[in-house]
């Protein structure tokens, strides 16, 4: 994609957003190993369950790419998903440890830095990562 066509694409998104009110629909892409556990936890959240779209990916890269193409923003700790999204021209927010950001950098360079692996995060660190993700998401949606 040339720079001028990329700018044209971005302009179209801005015009669409200002003309048509948009409602954010969170999309969670799971994979077979975690899908059942994720759904069980989600079903316990009455207020969230009906407002989240869950796509169980079957490890088919083309299905994943098609779903990503339909997104405006992708937030993920997976470098594969972040790079696929970035290369498709979708805005991204990577959730990484700071040491990984140079190795896995993207065009957007938007990251939430985690102080430790997910399994070791404190509740306070989790809440901070969520707040930072929401702040970055707002910046993207307002641009």
Q: How far apart are CA 47 and CA 26, in angstroms?
A: 13
pLDDT at 141: 85
Identify the band that residue 23 occupies on the pLDDT scale cut at 50, 70 and 90. Answer: low
Six-digit token string for 33: 């190993």
Give the chain's domains with CATH numbers.
3-142 (3.40.50)
pLDDT at 13: 38
pTM metric for this prediction: 0.70
CB 48 within 8 A of CB 23: no
Q: Tens digit of pLDDT for each residue in 40-93?
A: 888 887 777 677 788 888 878 898 899 899 888 998 888 889 999 999 999 999
DSSP, res 93 = E
């Amino acid at each position: 994609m040339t720079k001028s066509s990329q700018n044209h694409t971005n302009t179209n998104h801005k015009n669409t957003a200002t003309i048509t009110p948009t409602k954010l629909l969170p999309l969670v892409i799971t994979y077979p190993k975690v899908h059942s556990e994720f759904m069980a936890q989600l079903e316990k959240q009455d207020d969230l369950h009906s407002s989240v779209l869950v796509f169980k990916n079957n490890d088919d890269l083309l299905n994943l790419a098609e779903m990503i193409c339909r997104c405006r923003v992708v937030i993920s700790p997976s470098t594969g998903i972040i790079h696929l999204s970035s290369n498709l021209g979708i805005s991204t927010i990577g959730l990484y440890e700071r040491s990984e950001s140079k190795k896995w950098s993207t065009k957007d360079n938007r990251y939430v830095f985690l102080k430790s692996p997910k399994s070791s995060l404190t509740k306070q660190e989790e809440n901070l990562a969520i707040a930072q993700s929401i702040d970055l998401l707002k910046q993207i949606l307002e641009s």
